[in-house]
């Protein structure tokens, strides 16, 4: 399924024609394409479910809504010395439609980057390109993108989650779930520490200046829930035991999602 609209191609061709008519023969015309964003994009670090190993990349979502929630972004990434080239190749349709209407979405992995400044390009096709620089320093990723073409880059400054943190939520779709979820949160607090993160965007969540936090759309639940962001004060075994007890409670089991720098718990 193509990701570029007919209007986009017409706009590009018209501009090329105008440029060819008005530019002197001995000069290369500058091609400028202006179009509405087709995708929203964020800098992102995804932690592996097995062991929490982080991978830097992009979280991409289409502005177009599809029939199912499991349409995915197709992409190509090329790393060159001092440069990163990302191209969005299309939308991958699922073999089996799952979930309700939703945008296509997915994580585009780039990999581990050494500290430094990289030339950065995000392309939708050879004409529609957004170019800038990505600076990486001490766990911080800072993207400078002077002109965006076909994309809406919402989070360009990414902080890394320090080791020893966990975050997630307990779903509370009914009133009976809420007191059980409250009890879980209290027990979780008794074996973990208060978070001590400066305000900023951390990929999975954002911390406000007042110390409040909210989840990124990649993990945010749709319904009622009790969120948590905590700091591990010991081995993760105690957390796993607590989670198992509430998830497998025969009286009132909870649906709990728990991510961490040690993996999905």
pLDDT at 35: 57
pLDDT at 22: 44
pLDDT at 39: 95
pLDDT at 36: 66
Going by pLDDT thresholds of 50, 70 and 90, the confidence category of residue 234 is confident
Name residues whose C-beta falls within 8 Å of residue 168's C-beta, 6 or more positions apart in sequence: 219, 227, 228, 256, 257, 258, 259
Asked whether the predicted pLDDT for residue 18 surpasses 80, the reply is no
Lowest mean pLDDT among 28-32, 63-67, 169-173: 28-32
3-state SS track over 112-141:
CCCCEEEEEEEECCCCCEEEEEEEEECCEE
pTM: 0.84
pLDDT at 160: 97
CB 43, CB 156: distance < 8 Å: yes
> Tokens standing for 128?
């529609």
Name residues whose C-beta falls within 8 Å of residue 74's C-beta, 6 or more positions apart in sequence: 88, 89, 90, 91, 92
Kindly report the backbone phi and psi dihedral angles of residue 99, in degrees, each rounded to the nearest multiple of 5, phi listed first.
75, 175
Going by pLDDT thresholds of 50, 70 and 90, the confidence category of residue 28 is low
Going by pLDDT thresholds of 50, 70 and 90, the confidence category of residue 210 is confident
d(CA 33, CA 8): 9
pLDDT at 251: 87
| C-alpha to C-alpha distances, 197 to 176, 210, 221, nearest whole angstrom | 33, 11, 22
What count of residues does the chain have?
Answer: 265
d(CA 153, CA 39): 8
- Local structure of 103: helix, strand or coil: strand
> Tokens standing for 208?
């406000």
Closest C-alpha to 74, from 46, 93, 95: 93
Asked whether the predicted pLDDT for residue 7 surpasses 90, the reply is no
Asked whether the predicted pLDDT for residue 249 surpasses 80, the reply is yes
Asked whether the predicted pLDDT for residue 31 surpasses 80, the reply is no
79-129 residue pLDDT tens: 999 999 999 998 999 999 999 999 999 999 999 999 999 999 999 988 899
Rg, the chain, Cα only: 22
């Amino acid at each position: 399924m193509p990701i570029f609209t007919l209007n986009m191609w017409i706009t590009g061709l018209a501009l090329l024609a105008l440029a060819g008519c008005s530019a002197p023969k001995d000069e290369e015309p500058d091609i400028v394409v202006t179009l509405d964003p087709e995708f929203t994009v964020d800098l992102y670090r995804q932690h592996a479910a097995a062991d929490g190993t982080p991978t830097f990349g992009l979280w991409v979502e289409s502005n177009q809504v599809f029939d199912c929630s499991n349409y995915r972004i197709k992409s190509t990434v090329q790393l060159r010395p001092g440069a990163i080239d990302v191209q969005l190749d299309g939308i991958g349709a699922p073999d089996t439609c799952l979930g309700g209407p939703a945008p296509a979405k997915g994580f585009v992995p780039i990999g581990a980057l050494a500290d430094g400044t990289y030339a950065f390009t995000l392309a939708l096709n050879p004409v529609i390109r957004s170019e800038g620089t990505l600076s990486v320093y001490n766990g911080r990723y800072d993207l400078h993108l002077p002109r965006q073409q076909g994309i809406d880059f919402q989070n360009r400054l990414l902080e890394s989650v320090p080791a020893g943190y966990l975050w997630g939520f307990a779903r509370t779709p009914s009133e009976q779930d809420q007191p059980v979820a409250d009890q879980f949160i209290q027990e979780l607090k008794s074996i973990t520490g208060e978070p001590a993160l400066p305000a900023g965007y951390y990929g999975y969540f954002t911390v406000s200046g007042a110390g409040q936090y909210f989840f990124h759309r990649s993990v945010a639940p749709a319904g009622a829930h009790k969120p948590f962001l905590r700091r591990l004060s010991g081995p993760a075994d105690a957390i796993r035991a607590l989670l198992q007890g509430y998830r497998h409670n025969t009286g009132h089991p909870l649906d709990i999602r728990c991510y961490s720098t040690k993996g999905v718990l």
